[in-house]
Amino acid sequence: MDVNPTVEQYDALVIGGGPAGVSAAVNLARACRRVAVVDCRREGRSDWAQMNRNFLGFPEGITAVELSKRGREQAERYGARFYDAEVARIGREDAVFRAEAPGGLALLARAVILATGVHDRWADFPGYEAYIGRTMHWCIVCDGFEMQGQRVLVVGNNEETAELAVQMLRFTKEVTLLTNSGSLGLSPDRVKWLDERSIRVVVGRLAGARAKQEGEFAAVEVEGIGELELDHLFSHQGADPNNDLARALGLELTTGGYIKVDQEARTSVPQVYAAGDVTRFSSHQVSTAVHEGAVAAQTLNYDLYLRDEAAFEVSRGGTVE
């Protein structure tokens, strides 16, 4: 890595500025740790218009965008430093980590928290972005309550999609499953299971959509079939964890590419922690991301305390147990 004479050094570097990352920053700053947060402008789950109505303390709901904005202001109040950049390289140099971003930014830190999130594979058709967070959703826990009495299209083609469709019946009886594929990925037993619950299964690919007004579905167009009328669409196309930096650091990953962490947010590499959706440790919720960010920060802070105490004992000629 190139040497940058203006390198800043911190106790902790948090990569990712969504709910998990800003929660970690608040906790670390309040522990009087020097903390930097690097947050890129790449679109993620925290950047859409989706309203979170199950986050404690906000009875009218709050978007992840607004929550992260408030969290950033809170963290900065206690001394956290934010950089709007994308880390391109990260590695370890002796006892510290070094992260570099385009434009000459280089940061050193004693420990790192990865809160890099995931990249959703949305139900794709021309103009689909306008619907995300308004009438296109991915989380039944977040948005199922608002589906009461609505016409819901669940888009996906595996066993989990079928389960999501059946769970949707708690909120509405008007549920249709669209494979978004030219073939059926469900077993005959699953199809029968859905049929017994009056859930129609449509085999076909999305080609487009018609809106009542911007961001609100009236119908979707299915290749070779025509229009399906709906009020809301649940996209169940999966997601890809943003794990490039985790791979660069040699972290252990799950078979799905998520970062493996223990119950205290430690990864397989000492002084590297992870929180939020990139771990898939718990359900993908804003509330759990905030919790996991706090846990990662508190674990990191305590681990640094233990390291500093050990170094102090050594400096006094003592021994470390």
Asked, colleague to colleague, whether 8-119+239-315 and 122-235 share their fold, the answer is yes
- The CA-to-CA distance between both ends of the chain, in Å, stands at 36
pLDDT truncated to tens, each residue of the chain (321 aa)?
Answer: 444 445 789 999 999 999 999 999 999 999 999 999 999 876 666 667 678 899 999 999 998 889 999 999 999 999 999 999 999 999 998 889 999 999 889 999 999 999 999 999 999 999 999 999 899 999 999 899 999 999 999 999 999 999 999 999 999 999 999 999 999 999 999 999 999 999 999 999 999 999 999 999 999 999 999 999 999 999 999 899 999 999 999 999 999 999 999 999 999 999 999 999 999 865 678 999 999 999 999 999 999 999 999 988 888 876 655
CA distances from 295 to 261, 266, 301 (A): 11, 10, 10
**Residue 212, pLDDT score:** 96
**Residue 318, pLDDT score:** 62
From CA 162, how far away is CA 156, in angstroms rounded?
A: 8
What does the domain layout of the chain look like in residue ranges?
A: 8-119+239-315, 122-235
**Residue 51, pLDDT score:** 86
122-235 CATH choice from 3.40.50.620, 3.50.50.60, 3.40.109.10, 3.30.1120.10: 3.50.50.60
Beta strands, E only, the chain: 8-15, 35-39, 51-52, 62-63, 81-84, 89-93, 96-101, 105-114, 118-120, 136-137, 152-155, 175-178, 200-202, 206-213, 216-222, 226-229, 232-235, 239-241, 272-274
Superfamily of 8-119+239-315 according to CATH: FAD/NAD(P)-binding domain (3.50.50.60)
- Please name the residue that has the structure tokens 């105490």: 309
Amino acid at 278: V
Name the helix (H) or strand (E) containing 24.
helix 19-30
Q: Within a 10 A sphere around the Cβ of 247, how many other Cβ atoms?
A: 11
Given a contact cutoff of 8 angstroms between Cβ atoms, the answer to whether 122 and 144 are in contact is no
pTM, entire model: 0.92
